[in-house]
């Protein structure tokens, strides 16, 4: 059964609601195993066991969270060749801007040669029904791509 790994940094109630929407969206796809790991504890073994990846982070001062950056630093060299072509998606939540965080994530995933299979979901402010639906769709799209 294909495995979708969700690596996230979820420090706020808004991001907790988004993470729950991710779980709901992935659950819509049968025959996909979901593994959810906080970015500070996820490592190369988690990534190498995954068939696809969904990344989630707040936008902090125009950048991804330090926790997600730590994940990338931890897995970059051990997984560089083995994960080329890995399908992934990303969501970013910010109070006013997510562009810098998305750009930095796209640079790193590009260097890792991962394959983005869904448009990033950028959430600004408190997520409402439409935003949470977009996250559910993102999770389902990534899961379907496995």
Model confidence pLDDT, tens digit, residues 73-115 = 999 999 999 999 999 999 999 998 999 999 999 999 999 999 9
Of the CA atoms within 13 Å of residue 89, those in its CB half-sphere come to: 27
Each residue of 10-19: pLDDT tens digit? 999 999 999 9
Q: Report whether CATH 3.40.980.10 matches the domain 3-144.
A: no
CA distance 73 to 109: 12
Query: What does pLDDT average to over the chain?
Result: 97
Q: 3-state class of 20 per DSSP?
A: helix
| pTM confidence score | 0.97
**Dihedrals phi, psi of 36, to nearest 5 degrees:** -115, 125
Contact 33, 4 (CB under 8 A): yes
Name which of 124, 80, 87 is nearest 102 in CA terms. 124
Domain boundaries, the chain: 3-144
Q: 3-state class of 27 per DSSP?
A: helix
């Amino acid at each position: 059964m294909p495995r979708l790994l969700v690596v996230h940094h979820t420090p706020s109630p808004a991001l907790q609601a988004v993470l729950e929407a991710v779980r709901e969206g992935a659950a819509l796809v049968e025959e996909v195993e979901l593994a959810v790991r906080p970015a500070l504890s996820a490592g190369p073994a988690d990534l190498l066991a995954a068939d696809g990846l969904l990344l989630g982070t707040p936008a902090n001062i125009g950048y991804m969270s330090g926790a997600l950056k730590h994940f990338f630093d931890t897995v970059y060299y051990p997984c560089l060749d083995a994960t080329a072509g890995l399908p992934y998606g990303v969501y970013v939540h910010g109070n006013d801007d997510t562009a810098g965080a998305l750009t930095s994530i796209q640079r790193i995933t590009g260097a890792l040669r991962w394959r983005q299979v869904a448009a990033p979901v950028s959430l600004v402010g408190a997520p409402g029904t439409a935003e949470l639906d977009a996250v559910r769709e993102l999770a389902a799209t990534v899961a379907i791509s496995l």
